[in-house]
Amino acid sequence: MKEAIILAGGMGTRLREVVSDVPKPMAPVNGKPFLYYLLLWLDKYDISKAVISTGYKSDTIISYFGDSFKKILIEYAIEDKPLGTGGAIRYALNKTTAGEILIVNGDTYFPIDIDDLYSFHSESNGPFSVALKRMKNFSRYGSVDCEDNTILKFNEKKFCPDGYINGGIYLADRKFLKSEIHKEVFSLEKELLEKEAGSGKLKCKTFNNTFIDIGIPEDYHRAQSLLKNVPKLPDT
Protein backbone atom coordinates (compact mmCIF):
# COMPACT_ATOMS: atom_id res chain seq x y z
CA MET A 1 0.00 0.00 0.00
CA LYS A 2 1.35 3.41 -1.00
CA GLU A 3 0.54 6.40 1.18
CA ALA A 4 1.35 10.08 0.75
CA ILE A 5 1.50 13.13 2.99
CA ILE A 6 0.74 16.40 1.22
CA LEU A 7 2.05 19.51 2.98
CA ALA A 8 -0.78 21.95 2.30
CA GLY A 9 -0.55 24.41 5.16
CA GLY A 10 0.78 27.37 3.16
CA MET A 11 -1.05 30.67 3.60
CA GLY A 12 0.03 32.06 0.22
CA THR A 13 1.07 35.43 1.64
CA ARG A 14 3.02 36.38 -1.50
CA LEU A 15 0.00 35.49 -3.67
CA ARG A 16 -2.41 37.83 -1.92
CA GLU A 17 -2.35 40.31 -4.80
CA VAL A 18 -3.74 37.69 -7.18
CA VAL A 19 -5.39 35.11 -4.87
CA SER A 20 -7.04 35.87 -1.55
CA ASP A 21 -8.92 34.06 1.21
CA VAL A 22 -7.81 30.52 0.35
CA PRO A 23 -4.82 28.38 1.37
CA LYS A 24 -2.05 28.46 -1.22
CA PRO A 25 -2.67 24.88 -2.47
CA MET A 26 -6.29 25.89 -3.18
CA ALA A 27 -5.30 28.74 -5.51
CA PRO A 28 -7.41 28.32 -8.66
CA VAL A 29 -5.66 27.15 -11.82
CA ASN A 30 -7.89 26.99 -14.88
CA GLY A 31 -10.97 26.63 -12.73
CA LYS A 32 -9.60 23.94 -10.39
CA PRO A 33 -7.59 24.21 -7.15
CA PHE A 34 -3.86 23.66 -7.57
CA LEU A 35 -4.14 20.73 -5.15
CA TYR A 36 -6.51 19.03 -7.61
CA TYR A 37 -3.66 18.58 -10.10
CA LEU A 38 -1.44 17.03 -7.44
CA LEU A 39 -4.11 14.47 -6.57
CA LEU A 40 -4.66 13.66 -10.26
CA TRP A 41 -0.95 12.91 -10.55
CA LEU A 42 -0.86 10.79 -7.38
CA ASP A 43 -3.86 8.77 -8.53
CA LYS A 44 -1.95 7.67 -11.64
CA TYR A 45 0.49 5.80 -9.38
CA ASP A 46 -1.96 3.90 -7.20
CA ILE A 47 -1.50 5.97 -4.08
CA SER A 48 -4.19 4.48 -1.87
CA LYS A 49 -4.26 7.19 0.80
CA ALA A 50 -3.28 10.84 0.99
CA VAL A 51 -3.05 12.62 4.33
CA ILE A 52 -3.41 16.32 3.68
CA SER A 53 -1.58 18.35 6.31
CA THR A 54 -3.36 21.66 6.65
CA GLY A 55 -4.05 24.47 9.06
CA TYR A 56 -4.93 27.85 7.57
CA LYS A 57 -8.54 27.74 6.32
CA SER A 58 -8.51 23.95 6.36
CA ASP A 59 -12.29 23.92 5.93
CA THR A 60 -11.79 25.19 2.37
CA ILE A 61 -9.81 22.06 1.48
CA ILE A 62 -12.05 19.66 3.39
CA SER A 63 -15.29 20.98 1.89
CA TYR A 64 -13.89 20.71 -1.64
CA PHE A 65 -12.24 17.27 -1.56
CA GLY A 66 -14.09 15.48 1.23
CA ASP A 67 -12.88 11.98 2.07
CA SER A 68 -11.81 10.74 -1.36
CA PHE A 69 -10.51 11.70 -4.80
CA LYS A 70 -10.89 9.05 -7.50
CA LYS A 71 -9.25 5.96 -5.96
CA ILE A 72 -7.46 7.90 -3.20
CA LEU A 73 -8.77 7.86 0.37
CA ILE A 74 -8.23 11.30 1.89
CA GLU A 75 -7.63 12.06 5.55
CA TYR A 76 -6.66 15.36 7.14
CA ALA A 77 -4.07 16.32 9.74
CA ILE A 78 -5.26 19.74 10.91
CA GLU A 79 -2.73 21.86 12.78
CA ASP A 80 -3.97 24.05 15.62
CA LYS A 81 -0.78 26.06 15.27
CA PRO A 82 2.03 26.12 12.66
CA LEU A 83 4.26 23.09 13.23
CA GLY A 84 6.83 23.62 10.47
CA THR A 85 7.31 21.14 7.65
CA GLY A 86 8.87 18.50 9.89
CA GLY A 87 6.30 18.92 12.64
CA ALA A 88 3.51 18.64 10.08
CA ILE A 89 4.99 15.38 8.79
CA ARG A 90 5.34 14.02 12.32
CA TYR A 91 1.70 14.83 13.08
CA ALA A 92 0.37 13.44 9.77
CA LEU A 93 2.46 10.29 10.14
CA ASN A 94 0.06 9.13 12.84
CA LYS A 95 -2.63 8.73 10.18
CA THR A 96 -0.49 6.44 8.02
CA THR A 97 0.66 2.83 8.35
CA ALA A 98 2.93 2.19 5.34
CA GLY A 99 6.61 1.45 5.87
CA GLU A 100 7.57 4.03 3.27
CA ILE A 101 5.88 7.42 3.06
CA LEU A 102 5.77 9.69 0.01
CA ILE A 103 5.94 13.36 1.02
CA VAL A 104 4.86 16.08 -1.41
CA ASN A 105 4.87 19.86 -1.13
CA GLY A 106 1.37 21.15 -1.73
CA ASP A 107 2.45 24.25 -3.64
CA THR A 108 4.70 22.63 -6.25
CA TYR A 109 3.82 20.51 -9.27
CA PHE A 110 6.60 18.16 -10.28
CA PRO A 111 4.86 15.11 -11.82
CA ILE A 112 7.71 12.62 -11.64
CA ASP A 113 7.33 8.88 -12.20
CA ILE A 114 6.57 7.80 -8.64
CA ASP A 115 7.19 4.15 -9.46
CA ASP A 116 10.73 5.09 -10.51
CA LEU A 117 11.27 6.88 -7.19
CA TYR A 118 10.07 3.83 -5.24
CA SER A 119 12.39 1.56 -7.24
CA PHE A 120 15.33 3.90 -6.71
CA HIS A 121 14.60 4.17 -2.99
CA SER A 122 14.52 0.40 -2.62
CA GLU A 123 17.76 -0.11 -4.54
CA SER A 124 19.68 2.74 -2.86
CA ASN A 125 19.38 1.26 0.63
CA GLY A 126 19.03 4.74 2.06
CA PRO A 127 16.29 5.80 4.51
CA PHE A 128 15.41 9.07 2.74
CA SER A 129 15.27 9.84 -1.00
CA VAL A 130 14.89 13.28 -2.59
CA ALA A 131 13.63 14.02 -6.11
CA LEU A 132 15.87 16.63 -7.74
CA LYS A 133 15.28 18.90 -10.71
CA ARG A 134 18.10 20.26 -12.86
CA MET A 135 17.71 23.95 -13.67
CA LYS A 136 19.64 26.69 -15.41
CA ASN A 137 20.09 30.35 -14.50
CA PHE A 138 18.15 30.35 -11.24
CA SER A 139 18.38 32.32 -8.01
CA ARG A 140 15.04 31.67 -6.34
CA TYR A 141 16.07 28.26 -5.02
CA GLY A 142 19.04 26.90 -3.17
CA SER A 143 21.14 24.38 -5.08
CA VAL A 144 21.99 20.82 -4.06
CA ASP A 145 25.44 19.23 -4.30
CA CYS A 146 25.37 15.48 -4.90
CA GLU A 147 27.64 12.65 -5.94
CA ASP A 148 26.83 9.02 -6.74
CA ASN A 149 23.13 9.63 -6.03
CA THR A 150 23.95 10.87 -2.54
CA ILE A 151 23.34 14.42 -1.27
CA LEU A 152 26.43 16.14 0.04
CA LYS A 153 25.19 19.65 0.78
CA PHE A 154 22.26 22.06 0.49
CA ASN A 155 23.45 25.52 -0.59
CA GLU A 156 21.88 28.87 0.23
CA LYS A 157 19.89 30.73 -2.42
CA LYS A 158 22.05 32.62 -4.89
CA PHE A 159 22.36 32.84 -8.64
CA CYS A 160 23.37 29.52 -10.16
CA PRO A 161 23.97 29.11 -13.93
CA ASP A 162 23.42 25.35 -13.83
CA GLY A 163 22.58 23.06 -10.96
CA TYR A 164 20.11 20.90 -9.10
CA ILE A 165 17.29 21.99 -6.82
CA ASN A 166 15.22 20.14 -4.26
CA GLY A 167 11.99 19.25 -6.08
CA GLY A 168 9.96 19.03 -2.88
CA ILE A 169 9.16 15.32 -3.24
CA TYR A 170 10.55 12.78 -0.79
CA LEU A 171 10.25 9.07 -0.13
CA ALA A 172 11.19 8.18 3.42
CA ASP A 173 11.27 5.16 5.65
CA ARG A 174 8.73 5.44 8.44
CA LYS A 175 11.23 4.40 11.13
CA PHE A 176 13.69 7.08 9.99
CA LEU A 177 11.05 9.82 10.19
CA LYS A 178 9.94 8.64 13.62
CA SER A 179 13.51 8.66 14.95
CA GLU A 180 14.66 11.93 13.38
CA ILE A 181 11.61 14.17 13.83
CA HIS A 182 11.34 14.31 17.60
CA LYS A 183 9.93 17.80 18.27
CA GLU A 184 6.41 19.16 17.85
CA VAL A 185 7.63 22.19 15.87
CA PHE A 186 10.35 21.17 13.46
CA SER A 187 11.77 22.26 10.09
CA LEU A 188 12.36 19.33 7.77
CA GLU A 189 14.72 21.37 5.62
CA LYS A 190 16.82 23.03 8.32
CA GLU A 191 16.80 20.47 11.10
CA LEU A 192 16.87 17.20 9.17
CA LEU A 193 17.95 17.62 5.54
CA GLU A 194 20.74 20.13 6.11
CA LYS A 195 21.93 18.23 9.17
CA GLU A 196 22.05 14.85 7.41
CA ALA A 197 23.55 16.11 4.13
CA GLY A 198 26.90 14.44 3.69
CA SER A 199 26.09 11.61 6.10
CA GLY A 200 25.24 9.18 3.28
CA LYS A 201 21.64 8.82 4.47
CA LEU A 202 20.09 11.22 1.95
CA LYS A 203 19.85 9.72 -1.53
CA CYS A 204 18.76 11.59 -4.65
CA LYS A 205 17.42 10.95 -8.11
CA THR A 206 17.08 13.56 -10.85
CA PHE A 207 13.89 13.87 -12.88
CA ASN A 208 13.33 16.00 -15.97
CA ASN A 209 9.62 16.71 -15.56
CA THR A 210 8.13 20.19 -15.64
CA PHE A 211 8.55 21.97 -12.31
CA ILE A 212 6.06 24.60 -11.12
CA ASP A 213 6.16 26.42 -7.79
CA ILE A 214 3.17 28.74 -7.34
CA GLY A 215 4.68 30.67 -4.43
CA ILE A 216 4.96 33.96 -6.32
CA PRO A 217 2.48 35.64 -8.73
CA GLU A 218 4.76 35.23 -11.75
CA ASP A 219 4.93 31.45 -11.43
CA TYR A 220 1.28 31.20 -10.40
CA HIS A 221 0.36 32.83 -13.72
CA ARG A 222 2.76 30.48 -15.52
CA ALA A 223 0.94 27.52 -14.00
CA GLN A 224 -2.25 28.55 -15.78
CA SER A 225 -0.54 27.94 -19.12
CA LEU A 226 1.51 24.88 -18.18
CA LEU A 227 -1.44 23.01 -16.68
CA LYS A 228 -4.10 23.98 -19.21
CA ASN A 229 -3.88 20.67 -21.09
CA VAL A 230 -4.09 18.41 -18.03
CA PRO A 231 -7.35 16.42 -18.42
CA LYS A 232 -9.91 17.33 -15.76
CA LEU A 233 -12.66 15.27 -14.16
CA PRO A 234 -16.21 16.53 -14.71
CA ASP A 235 -17.57 18.56 -11.81
CA THR A 236 -14.90 17.52 -9.32
Give the mean pLDDT of the chain: 91
| pLDDT > 60? residue 235 | no
Domains in the chain, CATH or no CATH each: 2-130+166-190+212-226 (3.90.550.10)
CA-CA-CA-CA torsion for 4, 184, 190, 208, nearest 10 degrees? Answer: 10
The pLDDT of residue 236 is 46
Task: List, for residues 63-73, the tens digit of each pLDDT value.
Answer: 999 999 999 99
Give tens-digit pLDDT for 135-169: 999 999 999 999 999 999 999 999 999 999 999 99
Who contacts 71 (Cβ-Cβ below 8 Å, separation ≥6)?
A: 43, 46, 48
**Segment 21-38, tens digit of pLDDT:** 778 899 889 989 999 999
Query: Is the model's pLDDT at 13 over the cut of 80?
Result: no
Tell me, what's the pLDDT at 18?
Answer: 59
pLDDT at position 15 over 80: no
Given this model, what pLDDT does residue 221 score? 86
